[in-house]
Amino acid sequence: MNYQIALLKGDGIGPEIVESAVSVLETIGQKYGHSFAFTDYLIGGAAIDRTGQPLPQETVDGCLRSDSVLLGAVGGPKWDSRPAELRPEKALLGIRAALGLYTNLRPAKIYPALRDASPLRPEITGKGVDLLIVRELTGGIYFGERGCREGKFGEEAFDTECYSVYEIERIGRAAFAAAKKRRGRVTSIDKANVLETSRLWRRTMHRLAAEYPDIAYSDLLVDNAAMQLVRDPAQFDVIVTSNMFGDILSDEASQITGSIGMLPSASLGDGTRGMYEPIHGSAPDIAGQNRANPIATVLSAAMLLRYSLGLSAEADAIEAAVGSVLDAGYRTADLLGQMPGEPLSCTEMTAKLLSKL
Ligand code: IPM
Ligand code: MG
């Protein structure tokens, strides 16, 4: 088969890590008899510099013509002082909405070889952490009415959260479907003791849960959830939550694994086209130095194969290669931290991964 993949390399370390994932996909293609046609499109700061816009229409159109999309990272200090509408981050929200990618899957798991990298004590991580955050991605406060105005105390600003039953149901179904293929547990996280949107969220999730009797369902308030994630992360299988709570909790969950440089993500809609990206940012401090850890992007490419192209054996092969490279003791600088040893560069790590394929 021939697949069209749009590459949105973006800013900072984006180009380096996407190149790494492209070489992994090319090797997979040779081994399994697929061909991938990669096309670059501009996004984020790189797009601002070339076109004045963080998300040119050509990029949206190119993604819509592709089978799937692989994204590096966007943003950096160079563009931080721009108004909200013209910041690189706006492009990320824009492309999620334009492609209808309302389901964001963020798996967080501890690799046995990296257990020491977790800031949590071994008694806690020893129980094994393997959870999946299902974050709503095109609604809530990220996309609600907002503005600035004169208020009682002078200048004020506001953002609003709105969720429809329709939006809650479709993300809920995505979570229940994911749990069926995993360990059969769903925890819905909200702030139903305070927020009206959360009360609707909870009622809707309860109604859905009744349709999935084989899934063990529970709900948790977001403040308690933040605490439970560090107290006993092994209790979680699938977590489903709103756009903003998911943003916050997924950073917390990633840190539990000790290595934000390891975690991939998938953003999906109703069809098979998705957008796949590492959950870490553009790391401008190490950009262009060949020091970035490419694994999160490589694992994102594995998710692309699995979810958009239905190539699970190929995805398994990439995930196994990552496991064996780590078991063999190879580490990029972020994984080494304070530990002794020579870190591998981004290209060296990529070469190790290719050799395991
Ligand atoms: C993420 C990021 C983005 C978000 C920012 C960069 C807009 O933090 O993907 O988690 O908040 O969704
Ligand atoms: Mg975030």
- The Å distance, Cα 137 to ligand 1 centre, comes to 10
Cβ 70 vs Cβ 300: under 8 Å = yes
CA–CA separation, 21 vs 322, rounded Å? Answer: 12
- The Å distance, Cα 1 to ligand 1 centre, comes to 33
CATH homologous superfamily of 119-256: Isopropylmalate Dehydrogenase (3.40.718.10)
- The Å distance, Cα 290 to ligand 1 centre, comes to 24
Q: What is the pLDDT of residues 310-329, one digit of tens each?
A: 999 999 999 999 999 999 99
Question: What are the Cα distances from residue 195, in Å, to 175, 321, 348?
Answer: 22, 44, 49
What is residue 85's predicted lDDT score, i.e. its pLDDT? 83
**What does the DSSP assignment read for 277-307?**
EESS---GGGTTTT----HHHHHHHHHIIII
Residues tagged active-site: 142, 191, 223, 247, 251
Candidates 83, 88, 93; CA nearest to 53 is: 88
Where do you find CATH 3.40.718.10 in the chain?
1-102+266-357, 119-256
Helix or strand holding residue 210 (H, E):
helix 196-211
The separation between the first and the last C-alpha atoms of the chain, rounded to the nearest angstrom, is 20
What is residue 259's predicted lDDT score, i.e. its pLDDT? 81
Candidates 266, 269, 274, 289; CA nearest to 13 is: 289
pTM comes to 0.95
What is residue 84's predicted lDDT score, i.e. its pLDDT? 83
Which CATH number is 1-102+266-357's, of 3.40.718.10, 3.40.50.620, 3.30.499.10, 3.40.50.300? 3.40.718.10
What atom in ligand 1 is closest to the CA of residue 137?
Answer: 12
Low-confidence ranges of the chain (pLDDT < 70): none
What is residue 227's predicted lDDT score, i.e. its pLDDT? 98
Protein residue with its CA nearest to atom 1 in ligand 1: 247
What atom in ligand 1 is closest to the CA of residue 96?
Answer: 12
